[in-house]
Structure 1
Amino acid sequence: MNNLGNCTKATILLVDDHALVRAGIRSLIDQLNDFVVIAEASDPVEALAWVAQRVPDIVVTDITMGSHSGLDLVRRLREQHPQMAIVILSMHASEELVTEALRLGASAYLLKEAAPAELEIALQAIRRNETYLSPAVSTKMIERFLRAPVVAVNPLDALTTRQLQVLTMIAGRKGTKEIAFELDLSEKTVAAHRAQIMERLGVRDIVGLVLLAVRHGLVSAGE
């Protein structure tokens, strides 16, 4: 959509297996100044054949069309035309379908029960390179996010077992020679481990390593 100027109408391909539904959507779009329907298709096969001849700016498609899948159409269109905007217009509002549609690259997800004005809001959002979800859909997605368990990220997980040993000893105020002796390593190897630990943890000095080790429970503050 980045190639559209302010005065250029965005071209739209409608994909739905119900002619009356396509007619209703087309009628709504015909009333908009910035968009024009240039073709219709009754299923993904017909849609792909049409796109092979002329690439529209936006594809508005249902998610279920008989034995055909609108999600598969989204995937194939994204693979062939990454810049194309895709609007899902569906009666289904399940979290799984919405999540999969967005993962595959859909730019908007609208419910067929939405108010007519919502279609223009979604299309204008896409014209601004934004993503749009129907309020009912976005509410479900927010609730799903809030239900998801919060996973704390521990930076120490990026270290190997040996590096954790070295970090624990550094945080315990042990010097390079002592660490090398206790782990049966050369001082050069210990220094290399220390450098790698700093790089992986994004820490620049020994003090920072000690503070991080204490913060994440690797050693106690009194050690």
Structure 2
Amino acid sequence: MTPASLAVLVVDDHAVVRRGVMDIIADMPLSVAFLEAGTSAQALALLGGHPCGLVILDLSLPDESGFETLAGIRRMHPELPVIVSSMHVEAEYARRALALGANGYLGKNAAPGELALAINLVLAGGTYVSPGLAGELTASDSPAGSSRLSPREREVMHRLARGEKLTDVAAAMRVTVQTAGTYRARIMKKLGLTTTADFFRYALEKGGMLP
């Protein structure tokens, strides 16, 4: 591994799945060195002895739950980016993974391009949730406070919460950055939020998406 390489740990009990994930990442414009683990114990042992820049984690592991593995990773490396790739595409799984500190969640049925998108967003400091799941999370909780938001304010909140920069939000909505900022200020005022951290905590607790 060269000094500029990104060490990626792929954790899945199926070797063919690990190979598929690594092939997708290998096609990305990144300098990558791979680590593999088929169990939670192997994953945590590797993380204890090797510097790592990204973890792709399955939830169904033979020795313990992927949720327990995720909690263990967070205890060892609070800031290490972790993307969960799971066969479980129900909202409650995604919500629990995000609450435990996952930076991304997508189903194993996701297209290769979606995994690449998730990786790019997470490595840039954001959080990714598959669009279908994100919609389920939002709809299932229907936060009372956000019901006071206008449709445009809702759109701004959802875009910011899933990791888009304010400039990107403005471009996507065809408004100025100043207008997008005004929407954000209105959202926070209506929801009684005072800091950006409060905003993203609210989005997670109410079933939204984090950056």
TM-score by length of 1: 0.61
Deviations 1:88-131 (A, max 9, x none): 00010122211110011000001111111011100100111000
**Residue ranges of structure 2 left out of the alignment (5+ in a row):** 148-211
Alignment of 1:121-160 (within 5 A): 121-146=117-142
- Counterparts of 2:121 and 2:59 in 1: how far apart (Å)? 20
- 1:12 aligns with 8
Larger radius of gyration: 1
Tell me how far 1:67 sits from its aligned partner.
Answer: 4.3
2:52 to 50, 56, 64: 56
Higher relative contact order, structure no. (Cα contacts within 8 Å, ≥ 6 residues apart):
2
Contact 1:15/1:60 (<8 A) preserved: yes
- 1:189 aligns with none
Tell me how far 1:36 sits from its aligned partner.
Answer: 1.6
- Counterparts of 2:10 and 2:113 in 1: how far apart (Å)? 17
Give the AA of the match of 1:107.
Answer: N
Which secondary structure state, in structure 2, belongs to the residue aligned with residue 113 of structure 1?
Answer: coil
Alignment of 1:1-223 (within 5 A): 8-34=4-30, 36-146=32-142
**Residue ranges of structure 1 left out of the alignment (5+ in a row):** 1-6, 152-223
Tell me how far 1:76 sits from its aligned partner.
Answer: 0.8
TM-score by length of 2: 0.64
The two structures, once aligned, show a CA RMSD in angstroms of: 2.2
Equivalent residues, number? 146
Contact 1:29/1:37 (<8 A) preserved: no
Contact 1:26/1:37 (<8 A) preserved: no
Tell me how far 1:55 sits from its aligned partner.
Answer: 2.5
Deviations 1:178-203 (A, max 9, x none): xxxxxxxxxxxxxxxxxxxxxxxxxx
- Counterparts of 2:122 and 2:90 in 1: how far apart (Å)? 22
Tell me how far 1:150 sits from its aligned partner.
Answer: 7.9
